[in-house]
Structure 1
Amino acid sequence: MTITTARAGEPPPARRPIDDAPSRVDKVFRRVTTGGGITVLVLLVVIGFFLTLQSAPALRYAGFGFFSTVEFNTTADSPVFGVLGMLTGTITVALIAVFIAVPISVLAALFITDYAGTRLRGLLTGLVDLLAAIPSLLYGLWGFSFLAPQVEPVTAWLSRNFSWIPLFATKENATLTQSMFVAGLVVSLMVLPITTSIIREVFAQTPPGEKEAALALGGTRWGMVRSVVLPFGRGGIVGGAMLGLGRALGETIAVSLLLPQLPSIVTHVLESGGATISGFIAHNAGISGLGLNAMMAAGLVLFLFTLATNFSASIIISRSRSGAGVDA
């Protein structure tokens, strides 16, 4: 590198002016990205407005009882419908899926970022991303025709040995195939790619200097992971879990095949029964009249619930990328 200095008696070289004005390409790129962000917000507002408008007749008819009624029957002389049974089923399936998927996602992300070699890391990353490209219909068919019969002995064993836990208790001769547990197990496979990808990206941003310092002080690889990587990625784990929860809440085709779609408050997850909002809507897609408005109202509840979950996850993930988890 050559350093130019002024000779004695000569004026110093003129400083190069710094122009921070954006170029034409920068302006175009900024307008395109701003337009994309505004388009997404407009679509969300339009969807919310459409659901609100379409669900207004059902909400006026049912009143606040719509949120506290379990039964959903629009074909009777006096229609009765509510979202409580479907909402509890949706949350139950989503929580089962997250409880199964998140620990596996954390272990997979740790192996990819801190244990796997360069070639294996690229292969595993591609395979995890490939799982997200499998259509949910295939997951549902696989779960209905293959996984449910294979898991039935496991659910029977859980019922026999852990019936003292209310969730695992079952009635005598109860059907164990179309259950919340089986649906949550299948949905957990669909949640794995997004949670693993988010957690892996956050783990990969762990400051290399701190990881090397932990190893230089005589720590083992697991000690480095426990003291540096996991604290740094704590927000990413929570954010990935919440994004996975949002993904599980909106799953439609798979749960429509795996559950009988009978709205009820299921207290025993190993027994057949229950419904989710999205699955029930898909199962009754041909309904019309007030029933259609009631379906729109249920969809509005799911839309708002999922939107709040995803926004919360985005906030947590953005904070985790600052590295605040290391200082906590």
Structure 2
Amino acid sequence: MAEMSLSQTLTATGETRPRVSARPIGDRVMHALTFGSAILVLLVLGGVFVSLIHGSLPAIRAFGLGFITSQSWNPVTEIFGAAAPIYGTLLTSAIALFIAVPVGLGISVFLTELSPAWLARPIAIAIELLAGIPSIIYGIWGLFVLAPFLQQTFQPWIIDKASYVPGLAQLFAGPPYGIGVFTAAIILSIMILPFISSVTRDVFETVPPMLKEAAYGLGSTKWEVVKNVVIPHTRAGVIGAIMLALGRALGETMAVTFVIGNAHKIATSLLAPGTTISATIANEFTEATGDLYTSSLIALGLILFVVTFIVLAAARLMLHRMEQRGK
């Protein structure tokens, strides 16, 4: 005799199907609140994007793609181009990462693998305190302390030494202004250092001790354990920390405005004055007269928004591919 289904059995015995109890009211409220918060973020992001596009339309209609490729910026004749701010933004961020990433990773390795416990905590707290210093303080320090120091010591020395090396002569040419792209990059590297070191230190501490002990048991040195065990195991977190720092560097305003020189031109020398997108907006938005001038500044904000979105999306795609390869 074939087995009877649950519904047939319940019907034959006169019993009704058991009912699944509804979710508690607390769960439904929590689901609605969290879902609403997630949607609110998307709405705010979309609203910012739409507002930037709407404000940029006069500049887009007037200059088209030439707005991105031209470095001319003349409020008197109302001729505007974003090439110099875009170049300065990308260059200062790249140099800042080039300086901060090795230093940040070195600090994290020292704190997790080499430092005694009594020393690790004070160093970690000191580094994290750097993230709490307002950017305007970094700018003032850079203008009155770092820039004069570079102008009197480092820049004359590097200009003299680089003049004998083909290729470097163009990168470190010109008079030692003190302020400029290189000075702004140094300030940015100090500002993003806490993001890199703090996040990488936390992910380094997630490495299972068993993996490191096994490597030591095979005769590996400290350097080999870090290179072959710690870094590969936490590479996704390390890349995430670097991208977080890059996003911070791309949008920094006040500190860069103080020390970059605010010159709308593309120079081959890293010691020459330049500008960034955020510095241009901060310097000129209150003085912008006319719809086209204001629209050009808003268009700069739109470009920065798009560049930051592309960088973060590329980082997320890279992490996703790394996770897929690791499965």
TM range (shorter): 0.7 to 0.9
For 2:198 and 2:100, the matched residues in 1 are separated by 12
| Equivalent position amino acid for 1:81 in 2 | F
The residue number in structure 1 matching 2:171 is: 168
The residue number in structure 2 matching 1:137 is: 136
Change (3 A) 1:63 1:215: same
In the TM superposition, what is the alpha-carbon distance from 1:314 to its structure 2 partner? 4.0
The residue number in structure 1 matching 2:33 is: 32
Name the structure with the higher helix share: 2
In the TM superposition, what is the alpha-carbon distance from 1:269 to its structure 2 partner? 0.3
Change (3 A) 1:33 1:144: same
Q: 1:278 and 2:278 equivalent?
A: yes
The residue number in structure 1 matching 2:13 is: none
The residue number in structure 1 matching 2:159 is: 159
| Equivalent position amino acid for 1:225 in 2 | V
Query: Identity across aligned pairs (percent)?
Result: 35
SS of 1:268 mapped into structure 2:
coil
The residue number in structure 2 matching 1:291 is: 293
Change (3 A) 1:231 1:135: same
In the TM superposition, what is the alpha-carbon distance from 1:147 to its structure 2 partner? 0.7
Q: Is the 8 A contact 2:285 2:297 kept in 1?
A: no
In the TM superposition, what is the alpha-carbon distance from 1:29 to its structure 2 partner? 4.0
Moved more, 38-47 or 161-170: 161-170
In the TM superposition, what is the alpha-carbon distance from 1:21 to its structure 2 partner? 8.6
For 1:28 and 1:131, the matched residues in 2 are separated by 40
Which of 299, 302, 307 matches 1:300? 302
The residue number in structure 2 matching 1:116 is: 115
For 1:218 and 1:107, the matched residues in 2 are separated by 22
For 1:245 and 1:209, the matched residues in 2 are separated by 33
The residue number in structure 2 matching 1:41 is: 42
Q: Is the 8 A contact 2:147 2:183 kept in 1?
A: yes
The residue number in structure 2 matching 1:97 is: 96
In the TM superposition, what is the alpha-carbon distance from 1:185 to its structure 2 partner? 0.3
Matched residue count: 302
The residue number in structure 2 matching 1:201 is: 202
Q: 1:81 and 2:89 equivalent?
A: no
Q: Is the 8 A contact 1:158 1:168 kept in 2?
A: no
Q: Is the 8 A contact 1:102 1:192 kept in 2?
A: yes
| Equivalent position amino acid for 2:281 in 1 | I
In the TM superposition, what is the alpha-carbon distance from 1:22 to its structure 2 partner? 6.6
For 2:118 and 2:24, the matched residues in 1 are separated by 39
Question: What TM-score results when the alignment is normalised by the length of structure 2?
Answer: 0.84
The residue number in structure 2 matching 1:3 is: none
CA RMSD of aligned residues (A): 2.4
Q: Is the 8 A contact 1:69 1:81 kept in 2?
A: yes
The residue number in structure 1 matching 2:311 is: 309
Deviations 1:177-219 (A, max 9, x none): 1111111001111111112222223222223221111112222
In the TM superposition, what is the alpha-carbon distance from 1:312 to its structure 2 partner? 2.9
Unaligned 5+ runs, structure 1 = 1-18
Question: What TM-score results when the alignment is normalised by the length of structure 1?
Answer: 0.84
For 2:191 and 2:224, the matched residues in 1 are separated by 31
In the TM superposition, what is the alpha-carbon distance from 1:27 to its structure 2 partner? 4.5
In the TM superposition, what is the alpha-carbon distance from 1:129 to its structure 2 partner? 2.2
Q: Is the 8 A contact 2:182 2:270 kept in 1?
A: yes
Q: Is the 8 A contact 1:89 1:266 kept in 2?
A: no
SS of 1:43 mapped into structure 2:
helix
| Equivalent position amino acid for 1:64 in 2 | L
Q: Is the 8 A contact 2:267 2:274 kept in 1?
A: yes
Change (3 A) 1:119 1:167: farther
